[in-house]
Structure 1
Amino acid sequence: MNVPPRISIITVVYNRRSTLPLTLASVFGQTYPHVEYIIIDGASTDGTVEYLEQYRSQLSYFASAPDAGLYDAMNKGLDQATGDFCLFLNAGDAFYAPESLAELVAEITEPDVYYYGTAVMTDGKHIFRLNPMARPVGPLCPARGLPNHQASLFPRAFYQNNRYDLSFRIAADDDYKIRALRAYPNQHIPSLTVIFELGGLSRDLSRFRSVRQRWQDAWALQRKHFPGNYARAWRTVKFVLKSFGLFALQKVTGFHWKYEWYFNKFQRIPEGEEGKYRSYFAG
């Protein structure tokens, strides 16, 4: 692109005062200058709003009001976005390094492409890297290899005309990414973009409810995006049944990473290399 693209960074938050400073520091510390920063708060009561008021002059847009949940808040953020691309970095998430956004943008050559980087995740004990599948669109893609949502740059032509489907309880982001992948060319950028602690919406529910909701949303995604594909749908059934077996193993042993690896295609970072990732959260 001849003109440096403007990036809309959107943070949605509700009662996350303790983790919000990390996110703001990582955004304000980015070396890439062409950014608008939008924060949507869901009427927090834990001091989040008062904390954000200190930074209002540095924000392109900030509003606090009740909403219908995470994805409704994300839609409100999209309503305010004006950038060539948008990226969601929610409370507790952070860019991997000050140069992360600049490195991601440096690979942008066309305005109407869905670009996505690489994410690093931690549960506080181990560090994992998420590796998207080479061909991320297919009946098993919601479970095995969609791009990481926090590392996604959605082009303006897409995000201005698409909103998160609130009928999905925990998979509206998967649905959104599938729509973007099918509507536009996509390009994976291997540089590390974001780092975050595991514990998103799908893990805020009890583990059983989370697995049950994954089942329901997986079938809803199948019906919406891959209707009539019964053979592959059966593979999905077997996949989900296996996940229940892994869930039972987790309840007995406490070792839930087999379950998470199966769903999310995590790659464990070797112990000798964990320090440089974990130190990011130490500060």
Structure 2
Amino acid sequence: MQPKLSVITIVYNNVKDIERTMLSVLNQTYQNIEYIIIDGASKDGTVEKIYNYKSRLAQFISEPDKGIYDAMNKGLALATGDYVLFMNSGDEIYAPETVTEVFQSAASADIYYGETEMFDQDWISLGQRRHHAPEHFDWQSFRYGMSISHQAIYVRRSLAEPFDLKYKYSSDIDWIIKAAKHASSIVNTHIYVAKYLVGGISKKKHLASLKERFHIFTKYYGLIPNLINHIFIGINLAQYFIRHRRTND
């Protein structure tokens, strides 16, 4: 029997991108998908766009919230699937066959993950994320940076705790690490599973996001190891930009 997947999309005033995200979910060849949309009381036509597909949604809520992770928690509370996937407005499931391929990659894993392709505001591909998905992933894999985006990870719902609202920009990192700590089987699908629209809230509030990440990594990995790891993060980042600059010269 096919496991049931709850796909949760949160959105606020994004009429430009919401339909593209919705169609990437609704056009999946995989049959057992429960689609939940949480809107933060949009005023720009987003709600009207969503209503065009309301009959195909399992749940749709439009009301004010206390931020991105409060909205995600609302979606999580409504989810009834065996697995949950967060596909925020502007992002896409990679291809119509993606969910089918994810679940075909292995039976009954606690977590499935894959690669992410980045896109700019004009939906032009920027290529693979700088952090490639690791060959093997566990709760310690984030110590050198967030190597899997949350759009590219399918988590067994029984392992999916609510997002910690004390983090405003990086609670998804904390959430993934917690789930991975309790997972007994984590599967690399070895495929692209998500398209990611760059420039989300963590980019707009980049410094605050980095501070939160540092606190989260310290909580799980310890202060001294985290400081040492950040030296390697800095070196890797510098090498990446040097290579990238040479490529563009």
Gapped regions of structure 1 (runs ≥ 5): 247-256, 262-266, 272-283
Distance in structure 2 (CA, Å) of the matches to 1:154 and 1:214: 23
Distance in structure 1 (CA, Å) of the matches to 2:213 and 2:12: 26
| DSSP 3-state at the match of 2:166 | coil
Number of residue pairs matched by the alignment: 240
| DSSP 3-state at the match of 2:150 | coil
Match of 1:249 in 2: none
Residue 52 of structure 1: how far off its partner (Å): 1.3
Q: Which amino acid aligns with 2:162?
A: R
Q: Percent identity?
A: 32
Q: Which amino acid aligns with 1:258?
A: F
Distance in structure 1 (CA, Å) of the matches to 2:170 and 2:30: 31
Out of 13, 19, 22, the position equivalent to 2:20 is 22
Q: Is the CA contact (8 Å cut-off) linking 1:42 and 1:64 kept in structure 2?
A: yes
Match of 1:192 in 2: 192
Q: Does the alignment pair 1:116 with 2:99?
A: no
How has the CA–CA distance of structure 1 residues 237 and 68 changed in structure 2, closer, same or farther, with 3 Å as cutoff?
A: same
Match of 1:44 in 2: 42
Match of 1:134 in 2: 135
Structure 1 residues 172-204: Cα deviation after superposition (integer angstroms, max 9, x where no partner):
111111111111031111111111221121113
Q: Is the CA contact (8 Å cut-off) linking 2:141 and 2:147 kept in structure 1?
A: no
Residue 142 of structure 1: how far off its partner (Å): 5.3
Give the alignment's TM-score, normalised by structure 2.
0.86
Q: Is the CA contact (8 Å cut-off) linking 1:133 and 1:144 kept in structure 2?
A: no
Q: Which amino acid aligns with 1:223?
A: T
Residue 258 of structure 1: how far off its partner (Å): 2.7
Q: Is the CA contact (8 Å cut-off) linking 2:39 and 2:62 kept in structure 1?
A: yes
Please provide the CA RMSD for this pair.
Answer: 2.7
Q: Which amino acid aligns with 2:241?
A: K
Match of 2:226 in 1: 233
Residue 55 of structure 1: how far off its partner (Å): 1.6
Q: Which amino acid aligns with 1:35?
A: I
Distance in structure 2 (CA, Å) of the matches to 1:147 and 1:240: 15
Distance in structure 1 (CA, Å) of the matches to 2:199 and 2:178: 25
Q: Is the CA contact (8 Å cut-off) linking 1:132 and 1:145 kept in structure 2?
A: no
Q: Is the CA contact (8 Å cut-off) linking 1:42 and 1:73 kept in structure 2?
A: yes
| DSSP 3-state at the match of 1:150 | helix
Task: Report the more deviating stretch, 147-156 or 35-44.
Answer: 147-156
Match of 2:212 in 1: 217
How has the CA–CA distance of structure 1 residues 72 and 142 changed in structure 2, closer, same or farther, with 3 Å as cutoff?
A: farther
Residue 135 of structure 1: how far off its partner (Å): 4.5
Q: Does the alignment pair 1:157 with 2:158?
A: yes
| DSSP 3-state at the match of 2:73 | helix
Residue 138 of structure 1: how far off its partner (Å): 6.5
Give the alignment's TM-score, normalised by structure 1.
0.76
How has the CA–CA distance of structure 1 residues 16 and 181 changed in structure 2, closer, same or farther, with 3 Å as cutoff?
A: same
Gapped regions of structure 2 (runs ≥ 5): none
For 1:26-175, what aligned pairs fall within 5 Å after superposition?
A: 26-110=24-108, 113-123=110-120, 127-130=126-129, 131-137=132-138, 141=142, 143-159=144-160, 162-175=161-174
Q: Which amino acid aligns with 1:92?
A: G
